[in-house]
Each structure stands twice: as C-alpha cells, then as structure tokens.
A and B are shown apart, each in its own frame.
Chain A
C-alpha cells in the first residue's frame, strides 16, 4: 500500500531501511577500513521515524559543533543523505590520516576539510550502492558538501525538506568501531515520500 506521509511507515517497512543501513554500513566500514588502515566495523544501525525535536535530542546538544557531509540524490530516488561527524570521530580520522592530534572542527584547514568530506562521501556512496543494488534503482549522487556548524543548524536543512510533507524525519543512526573504539556518527537517509513508495514497491514490502 502506498503511503502519503512518513507517519504511515510501519515496523516492517522500517526494518527494510534498517537492513539497508546494515548492508550499507558494512560496505562503508570496509571502505573506511582500507582508507584508515584500521579494523572498522559497524554496530547494528537503528532506523527510526522521529518528531523533529526528538530527532535532534537523539543526536545530541543542538549547539554542539559537528561536521555534516551532504549529498543530493537524483534519478529514480530523489532526496538527500547527510552524514554527521562529531568532533571525536573527526579527531580519530584526522589522526589516522594526517597524524594530527586534536583539531577543533571550526578551525579545520583545507586538507582536513577535504579528508572529512571524502570520509562522508565514502560512507554515503556505500549506503547508496547498497540501496540501489538491493532495490534495483538508478541513483545519481551530487558532489558532496561539507558544513561545520551547530548540530541544530546543520539539521535544519533535512528537517525543512521533510517538513514540507511531514512533522517527522526518518533517521538511520549507527556507531562505527575503529580498532575497538566506539565512535558515534549519524546517517540520515531522506528520500521524499514518492521515492519511499518506489523503494518499498521494488523491495516488495508495499
């Protein structure tokens, strides 16, 4: 049955996104592992549909500074994906890639910014590859963009996008383990409602 709002997603439909998150996350972990030259794994992701304020509360203090990498999806699936990198995650990555110890997110230089953008790009591409091969849909990705600012501000874009159709947002969150160190990150997969219906139909859960 086609849905017209996010609120109509049931647990079975959400499980599909959890599964996709799990496969995508597995791919992302493999890619990160070779980039960082470390053992990377991902804990079982959570897929949830949350009211805006609850979604923000789940991610943390709205004023905390984070890095967000955003990619627009076009083709058979329309929407955006946002990968949220907290400072702790960034520190670990920059240390492994560039040997840097502690760089405040607001003071990233060009090279550090491009490393984080690339990490986001890898994670997002892995998810989208999982999604497009599972569902058999063609998806094109835009050039990734990095923004560093307060979490609440970064989240205003995906929320405004979903806000046009709903009072809720779908969020797949996961935790990466880099050499046994647990690091939180957030992945927001935001297809519009029409694309959601296409996905569910292709996956046979409609």
Chain B
C-alpha cells in the first residue's frame, strides 16, 4: 500500500522516493505535477486562479505565485530544472457563464497562465489533460513518476 498524501484546494505537497500525491475533483482549477526522476522527487500543486491579486493571500491559490513557490522548494530539495517532468490537468468549464466577472472561461485562463508561467521559468508541459466540462482527480506516484487521471463515469487513465 502506498501512502496517500492529499493535496487540498490552493495547496501543494512534496514527497520523495515513495507515496502517492493526490488532489480530488479539479474543476476549473489546475493540478500541476512536477517530477524529477533522477532523485524521485515529486510535487503536486492545486491552483485556483491565474494571477495573484492580493498580498496577504495563500500563495498556492494562484498559478504564478504557486508555481514559483513550488519550484523554489523543489530546487532547494535538489531538483534540477533540466530533469523536471511537468504534467497538468483540470481547467474545465463546469458551467456556461455570461457575467460574473469573466468567470465563464476561468478554466481556460488558468491553463493558459500555468503554461505561460512555466515557460517563463524555462519549463515546458510534457503532457496535459485540460478543458472540457468534467472534473478530474489527479494523482502522482512518487516512486515511478506516473500520473493518473480519473473522472466520473470514465475509466482511470495514465497521463
């Protein structure tokens, strides 16, 4: 039995060698899995909004501040930029919205900004499963680096 480590909303967890990092039911939010296969170091980040707009808030809520803080920690634990494998999932459109401050396409904006921030850090996304209109549970097995996605009414698949 691998140990499950649950990652909440606007949260990030790091594990080394073993364990399964898992975040449940990503809707418009994005899960970003980081993995350095050489040292078997993994992180799973669950962001909710594209850009940081307030100072006192949780850094992991936003794509920009969340990715930067996760990378800072991973590098401190010995991860190397050139070895990092990054996979993302989520960014769905759960409802068709007209008003409400441009929230209709929040999932799409999250996905775009995650990729933009990663690119600015010199990193690219190896695999992604984003968009559509359903939620995804994402997990990262830290012993192997494998990422799994499951959705309601669909079979679990490897990303």
Contacts and interface: CB of A to CB of B under 8 A. Distances in A.
Interface of A: 52-53, 56, 62-63, 65, 68, 70, 72, 74, 78-80, 106, 142, 145, 147, 149-157, 159-161, 163-165, 167, 192
Interface of B: 8-11, 24-29, 48-49, 53-54, 57-58, 61, 92, 94-101, 103, 106, 133-137, 151-153
B153 A106 contact: yes
A80 to B, nearest CB: 6
The 7 A-B pairs of least Cβ separation, nearest first, read: A153-B135, A152-B25, A156-B27, A153-B27, A150-B135, A150-B25, A62-B25
A78 to B, nearest CB: 8
A2 to B, nearest CB: 17
Contacts of B11: 53
Contacts, number: 112
A128 B29 CA distance: 28
B24 A160 contact: no
A163 B47 CA distance: 11
A150 B152 contact: yes
Contact of A152 (B26, B58, B61): B26
B26 A153 contact: yes
Contact of B100 (A52, A72, A151): A72
Given A65-B153, A153-B134, 8 more contacts: A52-B48, A72-B98, A149-B27, A149-B152, A152-B135, A153-B136, A157-B27, A161-B100
28 contacts: A52-B9, A62-B24, A70-B95, A72-B98, A72-B100, A74-B99, A78-B100, A106-B153, A147-B95, A149-B133, A149-B134, A150-B25, A150-B134, A152-B9, A153-B94, A153-B135, A154-B135, A156-B28, A156-B29, A156-B92, A160-B103, A161-B100, A161-B101, A165-B54, A167-B10, A167-B57, A167-B61, A192-B101
